[in-house]
A and B are shown apart, each in its own frame.
Chain A
């Protein structure tokens, strides 16, 4: 105590170093960064490097794999599996759009209209996380089972006729069709859309709504000109949190789909675990990563969220 409690006169000369911190002080931020950096190094950078090297190897499981800088694997993987790539992006995109359409009104309601039900509704949104992703998807298998009440009901109202005509379902089946996979994806990733949307909507000062109404904006215009633009950070975060994992997902296509609905995740999984063609699996992973990265970059540029407060 006596060492630190310097008299006021002694404190004055100690002030200039505040502008020019000592070497030890300057290093503090780096020390704080170290644990996280180490973690990322061991569990992110090293596996990535390992995968990158795998993707340019050739060989077989019996003879072992060797780095031969065989970049052709990328080209072969792309030409062979581009339908699955396109399908993944299409399914993920559709599911993201559905999530936005379903999630936005719900997030809006929770943020502005729920009153004392707000916390309960938020818990209900998060509640599915208390069960495993796999179990929940399996449950959908039961829900959409052939001849089950849901399918029967959809059949009765003629919904399935429309979706069959659109090529989304086949006959009176929902399971093993694109519709089932997209529904599964939408269901599983909906909370990842709702939560960021809610967070950004909830931050909007409701006086801005009043100000807009006071300035002759009808409720629809208030939404279009004030609420929606201000919720853009949430829209961007929600769509990214939905689209990125959905495009790499394989569980939904595996459990709810068929051979015709295979997504790129299913291909990578089978290359790794069944065909044991590690280089192709690694190459596919990197292609997916690159495609998603490019799409996301373009999207963020277009959405212009850096302009928002």
Chain B
């Protein structure tokens, strides 16, 4: 494709969007490298779709500029931008057949011999035999593929996807995720994908920007975001985190570690994994992912190796979900510690009511600024935050 050599990065410089007194997007700087699969991830109302629409030109930014490569496209109308969108509801033209829907963009640019390209594109999305059907005669998944074909046939510099898989059922969604990823690798066009599904973002994207209340909370590769969240929002929104309120006892002890204590438990974590600079005597939120924790019955505490973080507690709930068992453990440091244990050899003693010891490698512990809400990004709070934001 010629586009690999042309085009360039998408550069958002200080773009923001206000609707009256409501700020949908706070001034935002973002560079999306050419050819990458970039995901904007966040709960509904976080400003991710508005950001996407500003790149498409469907929304004019209140401040800031949108650049494509070296070109400033901030004031270009959508029909002059080398950018195409796959809309959330597909927005296929109901009065045209599939062939004409796909040919629409080419015809608007004055290309008359479209047959070869349209046929090729319909083959790419495996809809060749449906060319003369009307959109309403296709299933949701097929319509979605038409929407992708209709946008891709124009070889845009950037393809914008606005929750394109939201209307599909789970199985089809997984299939389309792989399909889209395959197409992206094949055509090498920059994809900007908006989604509220963290699993979808992590599966598909090279880089994920987590958005919350009109701001980018954190940006990075999926594994980086998951392993090293810098805010409680990211820690909770992306997967699940156990957060423990702790006070710092000493910093830079053995090998640059931080020693903290929480309700009597002594825990240790590397300084490098703290998103804030810990001070002795200060507070720190200590986090650990549920799958990093091992669990043993209380009377086997002696089997745990030295130097591991240990917390005692009692199982209050356990649910078997096939590949793993999820335990909820009540402990002094946190009333609801989540622990995921792989179902390799199931220990019959680990039932609700059992006294247990949880332990994990201190390397797997991360530290966050204690000044923020521990609940940010959990499902219960997401809606409430949005309300506050809207009334502000």
- Which residues of chain B are within 8 angstroms of A205 by Cβ–Cβ distance? 89, 91
B34 interface hit (Cβ, 8 Å) = no
Interface centre among B87, B92, B95 (most CB of A within 10 A): B95
User: What per-residue 1/0 map shows which CB atoms of A200-241 lie under 8 Å from chain B?
Assistant: 000001011011111111100100011001100000000000
Instruction: Assess whether B150 is in contact with A230, with CB atoms less than 8 Å apart.
Output: no
Instruction: Assess whether B84 is in contact with A208, with CB atoms less than 8 Å apart.
Output: no
User: What per-residue 1/0 map shows which CB atoms of B193-208 lie under 8 Å from chain A?
Assistant: 0000000000000000
B279 interface hit (Cβ, 8 Å) = no
- Which residues of chain B are within 8 angstroms of A215 by Cβ–Cβ distance? 79, 84, 104-105, 108, 150-151, 154
A230-B135 Cα distance, complex, nearest whole Å: 14
B136 interface hit (Cβ, 8 Å) = yes
B: contact size bracket: 20 to 34
A160-B108 Cα distance, complex, nearest whole Å: 44
Name the interface residues of B124-152: CB closer than 8 Å to any CB of A: 134, 136, 150-151
Asked if A214 meets B58 with Cβ closer than 8 Å, knowing A207-B87, A309-B136, the reply is: yes
Interface centre among A210, A212, A215, A225 (most CB of B within 10 A): A215
- Which residues of chain A are within 8 angstroms of B78 by Cβ–Cβ distance? 210, 213-214
A217-B100 Cα distance, complex, nearest whole Å: 14
- Which residues of chain B are within 8 angstroms of A230 by Cβ–Cβ distance? 94-95
Q: Which of B58, B89, B95, B109 contacts A213 (CB 8 A)?
A: B58
Asked if A211 meets B95 with Cβ closer than 8 Å, knowing A216-B79, A309-B134, the reply is: no
B155 to chain A, nearest CB (A): 12
Across the interface, name the chain A residue whose C-beta is closest to B82. A216
Instruction: Assess whether A214 is in contact with B95, with CB atoms less than 8 Å apart.
Output: no
A27 interface hit (Cβ, 8 Å) = no
B281 to chain A, nearest CB (A): 56
A308 interface hit (Cβ, 8 Å) = yes
B256 interface hit (Cβ, 8 Å) = no
Instruction: Assess whether B89 is in contact with A214, with CB atoms less than 8 Å apart.
Output: no
Instruction: Assess whether A210 is in contact with B108, with CB atoms less than 8 Å apart.
Output: no
A42 to chain B, nearest CB (A): 41
Instruction: Assess whether B94 is in contact with A210, with CB atoms less than 8 Å apart.
Output: no
A125-B22 Cα distance, complex, nearest whole Å: 35
Instruction: Assess whether B105 is in contact with A216, with CB atoms less than 8 Å apart.
Output: yes
A308-B135 Cα distance, complex, nearest whole Å: 12
Across the interface, name the chain B residue whose C-beta is closest to A230. B95
A308-B84 Cα distance, complex, nearest whole Å: 26
Instruction: Assess whether B79 is in contact with A210, with CB atoms less than 8 Å apart.
Output: no
A216-B84 Cα distance, complex, nearest whole Å: 9
Question: How many contacts A-B (CB < 8 Å)?
Answer: 64
- Which residues of chain B are within 8 angstroms of A210 by Cβ–Cβ distance? 58, 78, 85, 87, 91
A230-B151 Cα distance, complex, nearest whole Å: 21
Q: Which of B91, B95, B105, B154 contacts A229 (CB 8 A)?
A: B95
Asked if A216 meets B93 with Cβ closer than 8 Å, knowing A207-B87, A210-B78, A309-B134, the reply is: no
Across the interface, name the chain A residue whose C-beta is closest to B156. A214
Instruction: Assess whether A214 is in contact with B84, with CB atoms less than 8 Å apart.
Output: yes
Instruction: Assess whether A309 is in contact with B154, with CB atoms less than 8 Å apart.
Output: no
Q: Which of A214, A221, A226 contacts B93 (CB 8 A)?
A: A226
A225-B94 Cα distance, complex, nearest whole Å: 12
Asked if A213 meets B87 with Cβ closer than 8 Å, knowing A308-B95, A309-B134, the reply is: no
Across the interface, name the chain A residue whose C-beta is closest to B88. A207
- Which residues of chain B are within 8 angstroms of A221 by Cβ–Cβ distance? 108
Instruction: Assess whether A214 is in contact with B85, with CB atoms less than 8 Å apart.
Output: yes
Across the interface, name the chain A residue whose C-beta is closest to B150. A215
User: What per-residue 1/0 map shows which CB atoms of B38-80 lie under 8 Å from chain A?
Assistant: 0000000000000000001110000000000000000001111
- Which residues of chain B are within 8 angstroms of A212 by Cβ–Cβ distance? 93, 104
Across the interface, name the chain B residue whose C-beta is closest to A218. B79
Q: Which of B77, B91, B134, B154 contacts A211 (CB 8 A)?
A: B91
User: What per-residue 1/0 map shows which CB atoms of B239-263 lie under 8 Å from chain A?
Assistant: 0000000000000000000000000
Across the interface, name the chain B residue whose C-beta is closest to A216. B108
- Which residues of chain B are within 8 angstroms of A217 by Cβ–Cβ distance? 79, 104, 108
A221 to chain B, nearest CB (A): 6
Name the interface residues of A122-167: CB closer than 8 Å to any CB of B: none
Name the interface residues of B305-337: CB closer than 8 Å to any CB of A: none
A309-B91 Cα distance, complex, nearest whole Å: 14
Closest 6 CB pairs of A and B: A211-B91, A215-B105, A216-B108, A207-B91, A213-B78, A309-B94
24 sampled A-B residue pairs with Cβ under 8 A: A207-B87, A207-B89, A208-B91, A210-B85, A211-B92, A211-B93, A212-B93, A213-B57, A213-B58, A213-B78, A213-B79, A214-B83, A214-B85, A215-B79, A215-B150, A215-B151, A216-B79, A216-B105, A217-B79, A225-B104, A226-B93, A230-B94, A308-B95, A309-B94
Given contacts A215-B150, A216-B109, 19 further A-B contacts (CB under 8 A): A207-B89, A207-B91, A210-B58, A210-B85, A211-B92, A214-B78, A215-B79, A215-B104, A215-B105, A215-B154, A216-B79, A216-B80, A216-B108, A216-B154, A217-B108, A225-B104, A308-B95, A309-B95, A309-B136
